[in-house]
């Protein structure tokens, strides 16, 4: 594709669309859902899927020692590490609440520690947490354990402890290497720390080291992002998530701390993205879609190539499970037919756990229509195609096909009465194609609270 044609397409499809880690998306969910109904469905789905495929487990570890002003995650800023003990105690009690509701031990197929900064916790406390979880579970023989780490505080002891616990993948939040960008987003992180953390992980035996990068940050320029990506490529991470910065100061208070005049203009942000993609693909990284790039020997690319890629609240994953349990403050659970989100404040989360109640305050029960269109969105985002059911034809003709006409004209998809296939050109615009199947969006029943694609 000619560069000018690609740029024209990027401009055309640079619209607010979700990342589709869930469908229906979070703005559709309801507060104060019926917990008894949720528990009944949880037990039902667990019996269907636990023994057959295992479950995924996400544990949110919210603490950070300093505030990164760009960050939209649920976090608690503190330098007081005594909070680790109390929080882990609550995680253990929450897991015990689930165990009391389930007829047998969970089979853990996938476990991910996210944050916040999981490596805020000491190696000994991470070991305590994982031993508790695995001591009350069965670990699937083909499991994947992964963690998010901060290059500044991920020590060799962290990595050795995690490796011995079964972790083989680590994702480092790099974001940007430019000193001026780091200063304004309050994330001072010398490149040598990234290099050290990467080399130590590989020497210890981690098979996949991943980086998160962000474009559109304040003070970023074409020259600075070029330097950052060239330095990153030299370290050869196995996967790179190249995210668009979402400026939402009305929900992320830390973003109010810098001047919006420092943000690149929409056209400048587009150029940052295009330069990043150009450099990554020239270096041999494959664009999986939805902001993810992987080397050809990485399991994420192999899963994409063989049609085994899956997507959940942890993003793209190689493990295909129908259930994800989220533990910890603000965590989200996906039980296949319903979603549930934990309380967002530590105080409220602790109160629920101390009352021996599941800390879920918000969620959604999927209708049959939701399940069908969720399957279309998953198929497109993970495998690049969707096969239409006859019973969905009326809705597809009314809401979906009008939205697909432009992608069809632009050569992003092949389309007929039976389904669609995403072309190689269209892989770049997966989110836009998925959004055609978002009936809440097409019916205008939910406001686009998400960021633009670029």
- Residues placed in the known binding site for S-adenosyl-L-methionine: 58, 70-72, 115-117, 148, 175, 187, 212, 246, 332
Is 196:155 a contact under the CB 8 Å cutoff?
no
- Region for residue 289 given its phi and psi (left: phi exceeds 0; alpha: psi -120 to 50; beta: otherwise): left
The per-residue DSSP string of 28-73 comes to G-EES--HHHHHHHHHHHHHHHHHHH-EEEEEEE-EESS--TT--S
Is 288:430 a contact under the CB 8 Å cutoff?
no
The set of residues, in sequence order, having a beta carbon less than 8 Å from that of 337 and lying 6+ positions away, is 41, 45, 365, 366, 371
Question: How far from 358 is each of 35, 342, 347, 351, 363, CA to CA, in Å?
Answer: 8, 8, 14, 10, 13
Cα angle for residues 249, 434, 74 (degrees, 5° grid): 30
Residue with token string 């020239």: 282
Q: How long is the chain?
A: 454
Annotated binding site: 58, 64, 68, 70-72, 115-117, 148, 175, 187, 212, 246, 332
Helix (H) or strand (E) segment spanning residue 162: helix 156-164
The per-residue DSSP string of 331-375 comes to -EEE-SSEEEEE-SSHHHHHHHHHTT---EEEEEEPPHHHHHHHH
- Chain CA centroid to CA 259, Å: 28
Q: HSE (CB half, 13 Å, CA atoms) of 404?
A: 24
Q: How far apart are CA 211 and CA 177, in angstroms?
A: 12
The set of residues, in sequence order, having a beta carbon less than 8 Å from that of 384 and lying 6+ positions away, is 421, 422, 427, 430
Closest CA to 147 of 209, 93, 92: 209
At 253, give phi and psi (nearest 5°). Answer: -60, -30
Annotated binding site for [4Fe-4S] cluster: 64, 68, 71
């Amino acid at each position: 594709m000619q560069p000018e044609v690609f740029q024209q397409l990027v401009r055309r499809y640079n619209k607010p669309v979700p990342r589709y880690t869930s469908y229906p998306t979070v703005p559709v969910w309801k507060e104060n859902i019926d917990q008894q109904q949720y528990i009944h469905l949880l037990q039902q789905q667990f019996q269907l899927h636990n023994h057959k495929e295992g479950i995924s487990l996400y544990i949110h570890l919210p603490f950070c020692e300093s505030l990164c002003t760009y960050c939209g995650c649920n976090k608690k800023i503190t330098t007081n590490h005594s909070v680790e003990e109390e929080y882990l105690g609550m995680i253990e009690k929450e897991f015990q609440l689930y165990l009391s509701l389930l007829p047998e031990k969970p089979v853990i197929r996938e476990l991910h520690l996210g944050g916040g900064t999981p490596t805020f916790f000491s190696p000994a406390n991470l070991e305590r947490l994982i031993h508790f979880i695995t001591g009350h579970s069965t670990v699937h023989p083909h499991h994947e354990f992964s963690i998010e780490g901060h290059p500044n505080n991920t020590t060799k002891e962290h990595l050795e402890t995690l490796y011995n616990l079964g972790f083989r993948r680590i994702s480092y939040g790099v974001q940007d290497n430019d000193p001026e960008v780091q200063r304004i987003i309050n994330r001072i992180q010398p490149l040598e720390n990234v290099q050290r953390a990467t080399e130590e992980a590989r020497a210890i035996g981690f098979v996949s080291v991943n980086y998160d990068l962000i474009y559109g940050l304040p003070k970023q320029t074409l020259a600075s992002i070029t330097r950052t990506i060239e330095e990153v490529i030299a370290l050869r991470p196995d996967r790179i998530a190249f995210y668009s910065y979402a400026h939402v100061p009305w929900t992320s208070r830390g973003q109010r701390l810098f001047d919006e005049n420092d943000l690149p203009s929409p056209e400048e942000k587009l150029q940052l993205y295009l330069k990043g993609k150009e450099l990554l693909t020239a270096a041999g990284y494959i664009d999986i879609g939805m902001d993810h790039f992987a080397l050809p020997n990485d399991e994420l690319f192999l899963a994409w190539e063989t049609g085994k890629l899956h997507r959940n609240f942890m993003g793209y994953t190689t493990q295909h499970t129908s259930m994800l349990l989220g533990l910890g403050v603000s965590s989200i659970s996906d039980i296949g037919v319903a979603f549930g989100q934990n309380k967002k404040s530590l105080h409220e989360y602790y109160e629920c756990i101390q009352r021996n109640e599941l800390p879920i305050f918000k969620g959604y029960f999927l209708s049959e229509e939701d399940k069908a269109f969720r399957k279309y969105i998953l198929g497109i985002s993970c495998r690049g195609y969707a096969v239409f059911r006859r019973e969905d034809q009326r809705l597809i003709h009314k809401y979906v096909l009008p939205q697909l006409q432009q992608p069809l004209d632009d050569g992003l998809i092949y389309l007929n009465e039976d389904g669609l296939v995403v072309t190689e050109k269209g892989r770049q615009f997966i989110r836009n194609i998925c959004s055609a199947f978002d009936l809440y969006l097409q019916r205008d029943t939910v406001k686009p609270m998400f960021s633009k694609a670029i």
